Amino acid sequence: MKQKSTMLKVISILLIIFGGLSLISGIYSIVMRGVIEKTAASLGIAIPSTLSYVLTLVGAFVFLAAGIIGTLYKSKQSVLILGIILAVFEVFNIVYATMTAGFAPLNLIALIWPLLYLWGWYQSN
C-alpha cells in the first residue's frame, strides 16, 4: 500500500484551501474588472492585463489539482508530475511579476509551496 507523508498531506490540504480562495478571487476580479480598471486609472497605476487574470485562474486550478492529487495519492508519479507543474508555474509567475512590476525578493516566497510539496513527495513511500 502506498503511504503518503504527513507533510504531503498537510501541504496538499493547504493547496486546496489556497486554490479555492484563489479561484473565488479570480472569478470576482473578472466580474469586477470594469471597476478595477476605473479605480486603477483614477489612481494613476497600471491596469491589470488580461494575462494577469488568466494566470490567477490557471494558478488556482494548478493549486487545486496538485492538492487533490496529493491528498488522494494514487500514484507517486502523478504527484511528482503535478509538483513539477506547480514549480514551473511558480517560476513563470515570478518571471512575469518581475517583468511587469520589477523584482521583489518576497516573490521568491512563492517557491516554498512547490518545494514543500516535492519534499513531501520525496518522503512518501
Tell me if 55 sits within 8 A of 106, measured CB to CB: no
- Determine the angle formed by the axes of helices 76-101 and 112-123, rounding to 10 degrees: 170
Q: Is residue 1 part of a domain?
A: no
**Residue 61 corresponds to which amino acid?**
F
Q: Is residue 24 part of a domain?
A: yes
Q: Tell me the C-alpha distance between 48 and 84, whole Å.
A: 27
Residue 22: how many CB atoms within 10 A of its CB? Answer: 20
Q: Is residue 59 part of a domain?
A: yes
Q: Is residue 108 part of a domain?
A: yes
The predicted structure's pLDDT at residue 62: 96
Tell me if 94 sits within 8 A of 39, measured CB to CB: no
pLDDT at position 2 over 80: no
Q: Is residue 100 part of a domain?
A: yes
Number of domains, the chain? 1
pLDDT band at 1, cuts 50/70/90?
Answer: very low
The model's pLDDT over 46-101, given as tens digits with 9 standing for 90+, comes to 888 899 999 999 999 999 999 999 999 888 999 999 999 999 999 999 999 999 88
pLDDT at position 41 over 50: yes
Q: Tell me the C-alpha distance between 107 and 98, whole Å.
A: 9
Residue span of the structural domain in which 107 resides: 6-123
